[in-house]
Copies of this chain bind each other. A is one copy, B any other.
């Protein structure tokens, strides 16, 4: 099974979800967000991980959908908390409807994700439930740290990596591990795939941070520099804060501590990044986590052709321009 085979299955399944007709105000926002164009990489990882150990990936479809619905629930609520106007180039749910709708439809999506999870094979339901709930709680913890870090100036690289591990990476790890569980993998292979996902998830987020500063705004699909404007804690900012001394640090703190919303700020912070070699340091970290992810993947006892598909996905995510 290739990535595009997996995506065809996932997209077809998502398109064919039947929602209750009433109340439409509760279910329409769910259908809206789930059918916006997105990468759908997480449920694909579940199917592909399952396929490493078993030809019958059909059994992993409910688990895969549970992750995709859960992921979109987090987007719906995070967008409320972050006051974001756009998601995948379209209006966020709380902008198109209102905040209460985004809260309540989000809650319903979280419940819906468990409904799908409950359709996983009985033989591994209990272990999947534990993995799913533990992962879900970690993702909330990551979002909490992210919000708390907004109010602090100094965040260490260690704190930052732990935050994105919780907020982004554990889900990729768990998507892969759950697919491996359904596919009948042994515990060691489950763990290796989990580790692959964690490292990949960290690299994925660092790349996300990188694209906001160095991406091509045409390919990226949105204006670059948004993270700089809102002082978002990114790998780049954290690295700059840890590296800068003297006048550079003063300048960086000036831009961070004054509420300036202008292209001038983006340009000034970019120049500081250049001076502090932030681009190179970020590229190095990215390559490091990418390499670690591949190392973990290599330890998995499965068909090399199947592992190559996962390795290619990892490469694609790290090299992506959007």
Residues in A lying within 8 Å of B, measured CB to CB: 20, 22-23, 25-26, 77, 80-81, 100, 103-104, 106-108, 110-112, 114-115, 118, 122, 125-126, 129-130, 133-134, 136-137, 140-141, 143-145, 147-148
Nearest first, the 7 A-B pairs at minimum CB distance are: A26-B144, A118-B129, A23-B144, A81-B100, A108-B140, A111-B136, A115-B133
- Least CB distance from A16 to B in Å reads 19
Write the chain B residue with the least CB distance to A110.
B110
Chain B neighbourhood of A111, CB < 8 A: 110, 133, 136-137, 140
Sample (16) of A-B pairs whose CB atoms are under 8 Å apart: A23-B148, A25-B148, A81-B103, A104-B143, A106-B107, A108-B141, A110-B110, A110-B111, A111-B133, A112-B137, A114-B114, A114-B129, A115-B137, A118-B126, A125-B125, A129-B129
The A contact surface, by secondary structure, is helix
Q: Which of B20, B118, B144 contacts A130 (CB 8 A)?
A: B118
Given contacts A77-B107, A100-B81, A110-B111, contact A25 B144 (CB under 8 A): yes
A114 touching B133, Cβ below 8 Å: yes
Known: A77-B104, A108-B140, A111-B140. 12 other contacts (CB 8 A): A23-B144, A23-B148, A26-B140, A77-B103, A81-B103, A106-B107, A108-B137, A112-B137, A114-B133, A118-B126, A118-B133, A125-B125
Write the chain B residue with the least CB distance to A116.
B133
Chain B neighbourhood of A23, CB < 8 A: 141, 144-145, 148
Complex CA distance for A130 and B118, rounded to whole angstroms: 7
Copies of this chain per assembly: 2
Chain B neighbourhood of A118, CB < 8 A: 126, 129-130, 133
Chain B neighbourhood of A137, CB < 8 A: 108, 111-112, 115
Given contacts A118-B129, A118-B130, A126-B122, contact A140 B107 (CB under 8 A): yes
Write the chain B residue with the least CB distance to A136.
B111
B112 touching A26, Cβ below 8 Å: no
A100 touching B147, Cβ below 8 Å: yes
Interface centre among A80, A137, A140 (most CB of B within 10 A): A140
Complex CA distance for A108 and B26, rounded to whole angstroms: 21
Write the chain B residue with the least CB distance to A82.
B100
Complex CA distance for A145 and B25, rounded to whole angstroms: 9
Write the chain B residue with the least CB distance to A143.
B104
- Least CB distance from A233 to B in Å reads 15
Chain B neighbourhood of A122, CB < 8 A: 126
Complex CA distance for A49 and B129, rounded to whole angstroms: 26
Complex CA distance for A148 and B26, rounded to whole angstroms: 10
Chain B neighbourhood of A110, CB < 8 A: 107, 110-111
Complex CA distance for A2 and B229, rounded to whole angstroms: 61
Complex CA distance for A81 and B145, rounded to whole angstroms: 24
Chain B neighbourhood of A25, CB < 8 A: 144, 148
